[in-house]
């Protein structure tokens, strides 16, 4: 019988009951928290929503995946992952702002618009930062926030909506396509300073994109056209975020029911 020491069996300590019921026990084997690598692989995030910071960073990279699963070699952002994260950020008492970082080639139109509408409808301050590219349906997402930044070298491709797969050549198909295009156009013009006339002119430009119509605008041009608010990087985006949070605290203190 040992005194003051844990008994050992085959080199392993015998499991003991928690001597202090008020203190938390260690996590049992098989129930460990997901590792950073697992979270990055599954969600594209270092960790899900936590209370460690009052700003939540949401990344939208690769191709925006819609109702159809893309091939495994494609880098994708799944809308069924993004939407719950935005809901969690809205519900969290400690999260006071959301920073959205984009480097996307575009993707599914309805999925992209759904993400953009979610960002635009958040009651908390939002800032978007376009790094690398914010192409196609990434444009509405980039302009959906309260304030937007674009890196000097980043680009945004503006072009009309295109359909993949079988298309029935009837007037109704073209009317549906026109209505989809109108949805995108209305959203962009409502959440940025660009005029509808200028946006449509950029969409229908010929000779700039190979085998397509449209325009690629680089950082400074995106600001000059009124698509994006300011040239900047992460530092500027975070400063603007804290500025918006401070302004929001003055007008609506946290923890007060309204």
* Catalytic positions, written as ranges: 136, 159
Strand partners, 99: 57, 127
Residue 165 to residue 61: CA distance in whole angstroms: 24
E strand spans, the chain: 8-9, 12-13, 55-65, 76-78, 97-107, 126-134, 147-150, 155-158, 215-218, 230-231
Q: Please write down the HEC assignment for all residues of 61-115.
A: EEEEECCCCCCCCCCEEEHHHHHHHHHHHHHCCCCCEEEEEEEEEEECHHHHHHH
């Amino acid at each position: 019988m040992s005194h003051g020491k844990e008994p050992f069996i085959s080199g392993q300590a015998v499991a003991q009951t928690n001597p202090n019921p008020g203190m938390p026990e260690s996590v049992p084997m098989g129930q460990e928290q997901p590792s950073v690598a697992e979270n990055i692989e599954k969600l594209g995030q270092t960790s899900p929503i936590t209370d460690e910071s009052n700003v939540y960073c949401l990344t939208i990279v690769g191709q925006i995946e819609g109702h159809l699963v893309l091939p495994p070699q494609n880098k994708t952002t799944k809308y069924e992952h993004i939407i719950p994260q935005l809901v969690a950020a809205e519900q969290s008492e400690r999260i006071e702002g959301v920073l959205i970082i984009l480097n996307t080639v575009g993707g599914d139109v309805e999925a992209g618009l759904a993400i953009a509408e979610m960002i635009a409808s958040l009651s908390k301050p939002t800032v978007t930062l376009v790094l690398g590219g914010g192409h196609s349906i990434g444009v509405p997402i980039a302009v959906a926030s309260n304030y937007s930044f674009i890196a000097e070298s980043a680009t945004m491709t503006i072009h009309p909506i295109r359909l993949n797969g079988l298309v029935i050549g009837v007037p109704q198909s073209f009317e549906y396509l026109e209505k989809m295009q109108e949805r995108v156009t209305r959203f962009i013009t409502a959440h940025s300073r660009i005029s509808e006339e200028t946006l449509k002119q950029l969409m229908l430009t010929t000779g700039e994109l190979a085998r397509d119509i449209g325009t690629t605008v680089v950082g400074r041009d995106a600001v000059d056209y009124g698509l994006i608010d300011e040239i900047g990087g992460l530092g500027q985006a975070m400063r603007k975020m804290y500025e918006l949070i401070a302004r929001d605290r003055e007008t609506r203190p946290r923890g007060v029911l309204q």
